[in-house]
Amino acid sequence: MSQFWKPGAEKPRILDDEEGGVLFLSSSASSSGYGYVSIEKQRQRLPVYKYRTAILYLVEHHATTVIVGETGSGKTTQIPQYLKEAGWADGGRTIACTQPRRLAVQAVASRVAEEMEVKLGEEVGYTIRFEDVTDANKTRIKFLTDGVLLREMMDDPLLTKYSVIMVDEAHERSVSTDIVLGLLKKIQKCRPELRLIVASATIEAKAMAAFFQTRKRRTTKLVESTTSEESAILSVEGRGYNVEIHYVEEPVSDYLQAAVSTVQLIHDKEPYGDILVFLTGQDDIDAAVKLINEEAPNGGKNSSGLFALPLYSGLSRAEQELIFSPTPRGKRKVVISTNIAETSLTLEGIVYVVDSGFSKQRFYNPISDIENLIVSPISKASARQRAGRAGRVRPGKCYRLYTEEYFLKEMSAQGIPEIQRSNLVSSVIQLKALGIDNILGFNWLAAPSPETMIRALEVLYSLGVLDDDAKLTSPIGFQVAEIPLDPMISKMILASNELGCSEEALTIAAVLSIQSIWVSGKGIQKELDEAKLRFAAAEGDHVTFLNVYKAFLQSGKSSQWCYKNYINYQSMKKVLEIREQLRRIAQRLGIALKSCGDMQAVRKAATSGFFSNACQLEAYSHNGMYKTVRTSQEVYIHPSSVLFRVNPKWIVYHSIVSTDRQYMRNVVSIDPSWLTEVAPHFYRQQAPNPFIH
């Protein structure tokens, strides 16, 4: 195979499968090396290398190329380099490659810079939120999160600086990926010279290719022309080891117990190698860890050598480090994890996977406007991804706690894309800001329900972000769109400008944007509650956050101080970062930075953003039952709130978590007269609503 594909060179062999024009090349097995190998040799050993010519051919001749590549194929690091070598970055143009996660962007960018022997941030750079390691004049290959690409479109709607955009991990179908793909299809119409590569780990390739097809296929053969508007599909094998799949013979009723006994079975019968167990949430995981460690007490001479560790996002730094420390000789590590280990984290040394077949998934109900976390069956795609985690170091085994028949006949192939399970308020305002007027008619890869879209339009209308024609209002709509936050929080910031408390609003906005500022943990509940009391404000959680933030600054941003006060230091660092970004944006929007110390102004600003989340305590309620003003739903203050058991008469909440009850997280007390004051259109009778007739 020639090292560089040149126009006019013999084109690669194409096997048309009569369905999608799938291209295969016979693969001669690549041997793994021993000892020192040059970077160039390493690159040539990656499975994707055999397809170099084919990929460049397809990109040259097709507006869109869909590449199906398993993990370990090298597609992410190699394809951008091939494109650059073939001249796609000549004349000051840039090749973009998006990822759903920040960590992946950083990791891939530094790997590619290393391979190209250039300094990161020059020829090869990356951009993620809070970090722009690029040089506008020098960067020719740029890695970025798809969320950042979306933001870039606000300044440059046609993304003119990019010659090729590769959207990686498209099978994950994150909200941003779906929106980016829909917008790129639109951009293609105006920029026929733009090339798209959609890289996906699973079969959804055909649906993806069909989506980008701008013209009906004329024949089953690939049409020869300068550029085909048809999309091409290419398949690249991966480099994982074989994973033997085992199913249970009968359905299990208790997957927690089944997981624990499977772990013990593996430990008794199978050779060394660590185990990864997928369960659904913190509770199950902690219980399973306890069961395993009790049945196999470790440390003594008679220890079985089996020890279990939990893994979920809420873990502290120290607990996370345990997971990654190598397993001592003669021991076997069991990591019990949420689906964080499915994509976001890679553990070394895993040989066995136990898959419960479930994960917690978000579901959004546009009628109640509540997002729920529900334990749901995973898709085949997820099941394969989980199994693949066993084959990274040597051939492995995956034990599925469901029957083969269930896998074959009942499990859905792909699962519901996130965009169809989410509140769309943030997405809709982004599309509006990009000039997409007809949200319902947008070319969605998977259209959300009309109810969800209409609900999002209603919320934006009630916030004064959209006018009667569903167009962004000026200036409020455009300002809210500029701020990278939930529109309700952005509205709070805008309102704080007039109320003279923008400094406070920025702090609250930053804290509301992260999971929690408190440390999490089971055994320390009492201590945590006591620590909270030191900062607790009678007005509610928002004011409590201000107290914490102020004290944190006074401590000199000390991690020791955080430790003593049961505050998560990592979270506080994130708060500082987000607040700094918001401060810059606020200044650009002409918001004066003012602090007034008047908590009534602060609560009023919060009400201006969250008036639609107002709740009233039920009269004579002895158990703290509230009803939402908008829909009269039963809700309760979350036990983590400083207002839990305080139960002021009127409150607004930031969000609801739904378990056996609907719990309001982050609440602040208000005066009900503020509701009609800040949102008269919403709280006066029979407010005209242009979206519902």
Q: Which of 15, 103, 136, 533 binds DNA (CB under 7 A)?
A: 103
Based on the shown chain and the rule CB under 7 A, indicate whether residue 638 belongs to the binding site for DNA.
yes
Ranges of H-type helices in 463-616? 476-482, 487-499, 502-512, 525-535, 541-554, 559-564, 569-588, 599-610
The smaller minimum CB distance to DNA, of residues 90 and 131, is found at 131
Do the beta carbons of residue 652 and residue 664 sit within 8 Å? no
The smaller minimum CB distance to DNA, of residues 57 and 143, is found at 143
The smaller minimum CB distance to DNA, of residues 384 and 583, is found at 583
The smaller minimum CB distance to DNA, of residues 161 and 665, is found at 665
The least CB distance from residue 102 to DNA, in Å, is 4
What count of other Cβ atoms lies within 10 Å of the Cβ of residue 121?
17
The least CB distance from residue 100 to DNA, in Å, is 6
Return the CA Rg of the chain.
Answer: 27
The smaller minimum CB distance to DNA, of residues 14 and 606, is found at 606
The least CB distance from residue 231 to DNA, in Å, is 26
Among the listed ranges 51-59, 118-126, 193-201, 636-644, the one in contact with DNA (CB under 7 A) is: 636-644
Residues 122-181 that bind DNA (CB under 7 A): 127-130, 132, 145, 147-148, 151-152, 154-155, 174, 176
The smaller minimum CB distance to DNA, of residues 515 and 554, is found at 515
Q: How far apart are CA 574 and CA 581, in angstroms?
A: 11
The smaller minimum CB distance to DNA, of residues 148 and 232, is found at 148
The least CB distance from residue 279 to DNA, in Å, is 10
The smaller minimum CB distance to DNA, of residues 45 and 360, is found at 360
Q: Which tokens in the block code for residue 31?
A: 């041997």
- Draw the binding track, 503-522, toward DNA (x: CB under 7 A; -: no contact): ----------x-xx---x--
The least CB distance from residue 513 to DNA, in Å, is 5
Q: Which of 21, 69, 80, 100 binds DNA (CB under 7 A)?
A: 100
The least CB distance from residue 133 to DNA, in Å, is 11
Q: How far apart are CA 620 and CA 638, in angstroms?
A: 19
Residue identified by tokens 């809070």 is: 130
Residues 657-676 that bind DNA (CB under 7 A): 657, 659-660, 663, 665
The least CB distance from residue 490 to DNA, in Å, is 8
CA atoms within 13 A on the CB side of 689: 18
What's the Cα-to-Cα distance from 406 to each of 246, 328, 353, 424, rounded to whole Å? 13, 38, 18, 33
The 8 Å CB, 24+ separation contacts for 381-385 are 381/171, 381/202, 381/204, 381/413, 381/414, 381/415, 382/339, 382/342, 382/415, 383/355, 383/357, 383/407, 383/411, 384/202, 385/201, 385/342, 385/343
Q: How far apart are CA 350 and CA 516, in angstroms?
A: 31
Q: How far apart are CA 574 and CA 482, in angstroms?
A: 20
The smaller minimum CB distance to DNA, of residues 283 and 405, is found at 283
Do the beta carbons of residue 360 and residue 280 sit within 8 Å? yes
Q: Which residues contact 106 (CB under 8 A, 6 or more apart)?
A: 126, 128, 131
The least CB distance from residue 672 to DNA, in Å, is 26
Based on the shown chain and the rule CB under 7 A, indicate whether residue 532 belongs to the binding site for DNA.
no
The least CB distance from residue 410 to DNA, in Å, is 21
Mapped to the 3 state alphabet, what secondary structure does 338-350 carry? CCHHHHCCCCCCE
Residues 595-614 that bind DNA (CB under 7 A): none
Q: Which of 362, 471, 550, 557 binds DNA (CB under 7 A)?
A: 362
The least CB distance from residue 361 to DNA, in Å, is 5
The smaller minimum CB distance to DNA, of residues 82 and 663, is found at 663
Site size with DNA, rule: CB under 7 A = 57
Q: How far apart are CA 218 and CA 307, in angstroms?
A: 60
Residue identified by tokens 């101080």 is: 561
Do the beta carbons of residue 465 and residue 480 sit within 8 Å? yes
Residues 217-256 that bind DNA (CB under 7 A): none
Q: How far apart are CA 673 and CA 170, in angstroms?
A: 48
The smaller minimum CB distance to DNA, of residues 169 and 230, is found at 169
Q: How far apart are CA 33 and CA 115, in angstroms?
A: 17
Residues 326-345 that bind DNA (CB under 7 A): 338-340, 344-345
The least CB distance from residue 339 to DNA, in Å, is 6
- Draw the binding track, 453-492, toward DNA (x: CB under 7 A; -: no contact): -------------------------------xxx------
The smaller minimum CB distance to DNA, of residues 500 and 624, is found at 624
Based on the shown chain and the rule CB under 7 A, indicate whether residue 98 belongs to the binding site for DNA.
no
Q: How far apart are CA 596 and CA 502, in angstroms?
A: 9
Binding site for DNA (CB under 7 A): 100-103, 127-130, 132, 145, 147-148, 151-152, 154-155, 174, 176, 280-283, 312-314, 338-340, 344-345, 359-362, 373, 418, 426, 484-486, 513, 515-516, 520, 525, 581, 585, 588, 623, 638-640, 657, 659-660, 663, 665
